Amino acid sequence: MADARRGTVITVFSTASAVGKTLIAINMAAELAKEGYRVCLVDLDLQFGDVCNYLQLQPTYTLADAIAAQEKEIENFNVQAFLTTYDRYDVPFGVLAAPLKLEEAYNIQTNDVKLILSQLQLKFDFLVIDTASTFSEVNLMAMEMSTIISFLGIVDFIPTIKNMKSGNDTIHGLGYDTNKIRMILNRSNSKTRIDLQDVEQLLGSEFYHVLPNDFGTATRSIKTGCPLVLDTKASPLKTELRNLVARYTGNPLEEVDGKEDSNSSWFSKLFR
């Protein structure tokens, strides 16, 4: 008999803050849920996580409670009891909230988080993990466990790009399969004087996916608590977020069928 099936883990990571990790993680989770998968969104930005802020959730339990329960009795531990369900738009997915108290967050042990994630993998098709922008022990563990690391960057000014470069080098130096790491550029056409090709050359790899700058739409989504992909209103950012997930899952989008995404044309696919 085969082993129990373990779900796919997608970690959203970056080396700079405020590049859109949380927004993208939320939308990935929502889009995957919309496609019918069982999805859990995990907030591993332990100290200042924003997942529940963005989704306007008031969690009863958090990761800290789950860990405490797990330590108490591993036998009867049911991780699902510690999730908060997001179902405002009839597309339910689970959320494992970051600890409410900073001291709880500070004292969390990486191995305990790892056990929780393993439990979740048995219950869900997809885990989407939001992170803090640092190579912390817990983030390295999450990346190690990940099927895919979505390494997110923005091109605004030189220091951010330097950090993207050193982060990219570091991730590639960790020994993962190159294919596991997907570089995603957010806010591609924001005002900057830096050329995208130059950045790709510097990083030594191309962006797997490019998300357009749509600050207004993103801000509105944060204000309303509605993930963009569940919003009825069309926007370029929504389309590209959905395209990204479609590329991950391999399920083409019904509505945008035929013109999947212009970055990887059918022509280039012929020659893979």
Partner 1 sequence: MLERLSSVVRNTKDFELVARYQQSGDALGQGAMFKPNMILLDIDESDDDASLIEEFTTTFKGASVICMSAKWAASDSETMAGAGARGFLIKPFTSEELQEAVKTFEKTGIAAGSNVISFFSPKGKSGKTTLIANLGMALAQKTGQQVGVIDADLQFGDMSVFFNLAPKTTIMEAVRDINFLSPVTLNSYFLPIAENLRVLCGTRRPEYAEMVDIKSFIEVVSMARSICRYVLIDIPSGFTPISIATAEASDITYLVSMISGTFEIQHMQRALEIFKAWPDYQERVRTVFTRVEPCDTNEQNKLAEALGYPKVSIIPNEYMLVSSAANNGQMAILEQPDSKFARFINQLADEIIGSKTHVRWG
Where do contacts with partner 1 occur on this chain (CB under 8 A)? 15-19, 45, 47-48, 50, 53, 102-103, 105-106, 132-135, 156-159, 162-163, 166-167, 169-170, 173, 193-194, 219, 222
Q: Looking at beta carbons only, is 50 or 231 nearer to partner 1?
A: 50
Q: For partner 1, give the closer residue by CB, 45 or 125.
A: 45
- Whether 205 and 170 have beta carbons less than 8 Å apart is answered as no
Cβ-based nearer residue to partner 1, 61 or 135:
135
| C-alpha to C-alpha distance for 85 and 159, rounded to whole angstroms | 38
- Give the CA distances from residue 84 to residues 53, 98, 125, 142, in Å, rounded to whole numbers and listed in that order: 13, 11, 17, 21
> Shortest Cβ distance from residue 256 to partner 1 (Å)?
29
CB of 21 to partner 1, least distance (A): 11
- Asked whether the beta carbons of 32 and 249 are under 8 A apart, the reply is yes
**Are 167 and 47 contacting, i.e. CB atoms less than 8 angstroms apart?**
no
Strand, coil or helix: 5: coil
Least distance in angstroms from the C-beta of 58 to partner 1? 13
C-alpha–C-alpha distance, residues 141 and 109, integer Å: 11
CB of 52 to partner 1, least distance (A): 10
Nearer to partner 1 (CB atom), residue 136 or residue 264 = 136
Residue 107 burial (CB count, 10 A): 12
Distance, in Å, from the CA atom of 59 to the CA atom of 61, rounded to the nearest integer, reads 5
- Cα dist from 7 to 39, 82, 138, whole Å: 9, 18, 19
Please report how close the Cβ of residue 49 comes to partner 1 at its closest, in angstroms. Answer: 9
Q: Tell me whether residue 14 or residue 239 sits nearer to partner 1 (CB atom).
A: 14
Is the Cβ of residue 19 or residue 203 nearer to partner 1 in the bound state? Answer: 19
Kindly state the smallest distance separating residue 65's Cβ from partner 1, in Å: 18
